[in-house]
Every structure is written in C-alpha cells, then in structure tokens.
Amino acid sequence: MLMPKRVKYRKPHSAPRIKGNATRGATVVFGEYGLKALEPKWITARQIESARITLSRFIKKKGKLWIRVFPDKAITKHPAETRMGKGKGAPDHWVAVVKPGTILFELEGATLEDTQRAMRLASDKLPIKTKLVARR
C-alpha cells in the first residue's frame, strides 16, 4: 500500500476544496498513453493499488507502467461508537487529491487495443470518470 515514509504534520486539515482543473501532472510525460481523470475526488491508496494490480496483471511483460499520483494526505477517523468531542481522531487511511485533468497512470510498449482494455479495467476500480489520452 502506498503511503509516505514521514510527513511534517500527522493530522492535516481535511477540508481543502478540490476546485479547478489540474495544472501540474496534466500531460502524458513518460509513456505513450495515459489515464486522465475527468472529475475531482480523493482517491484512496487501496483504490490506486487495486488499479495498479489490474494494469500490471493485464499488461504483464508487454509494457511499462507509471503511477502518476501518490496518496500523501492523511484522513483521520474516530473509532466506531465514540462520543463527540475529545479532539481529532487518529489517522485512518491515505488519499491522493485528484483534480480534473490529472494523469493517473501511464503505459508504454503495449498495443493500442491492449492499452484500451487495460485502462478500461483499471478505471472500473476507480471512483471517478476517466478517459484514455495519447501523448502529443
């Protein structure tokens, strides 16, 4: 599972808005094809890992895969059946903040048909709408 080795603050503020389109990480840089996000959302480390496993199993040794998002934001939760108050809860899981236009995964070396099929399977694991984009 992806998570940072260390962070400056253990419990970040969890209310930043995901407004606007992505300015960074919005172009295909490493591979030939990319999976582009069309909606703003927090994507958990489990969802990224699930999509990564799906892509790597489908592509096997035919191509190379890059993961362009990293879950670096801690989300805190109180235990179940706990009364209100008593401060902020303990860190529960990690998420990546994804804006529309962010490239999530990149692939290289596979045919277009294989890439389309692999990206379709991976996008089914994610909670947002995505589309396949090619390098310019």
Asked if residue 104 is part of any domain, the answer here is yes
Bridge partners, 91 (sequence order): 76
| Counts for the chain of helices (H) and strands (E), in that order | 2, 7
Which of 15-24, 53-62, 90-99, 119-128 has the weakest average pLDDT? Answer: 15-24
Checking if the pLDDT of 12 tops 80, the result is yes
Asked if residue 127 is part of any domain, the answer here is yes
**Cα distances (Å, whole numbers) of residue 42 to 45, 47, 55, 69:** 10, 10, 20, 11
CATH code: domain of residue 40: 3.90.1170.10
Asked if residue 116 is part of any domain, the answer here is yes
Checking if the pLDDT of 114 tops 90, the result is yes
Checking if the pLDDT of 30 tops 80, the result is yes
- Convert the pLDDT of each residue in 61-113 to its tens digit: 889 999 999 999 999 999 999 999 999 999 999 999 999 999 999 999 999 99
Checking if the pLDDT of 15 tops 80, the result is no
Confidence at residue 42, expressed as pLDDT on a 0 to 100 scale? 95
Checking if the pLDDT of 14 tops 80, the result is no
For the chain, give the mean pLDDT: 94
Whole domain around residue 54: which residue ranges?
33-78+89-134
Checking if the pLDDT of 29 tops 80, the result is yes
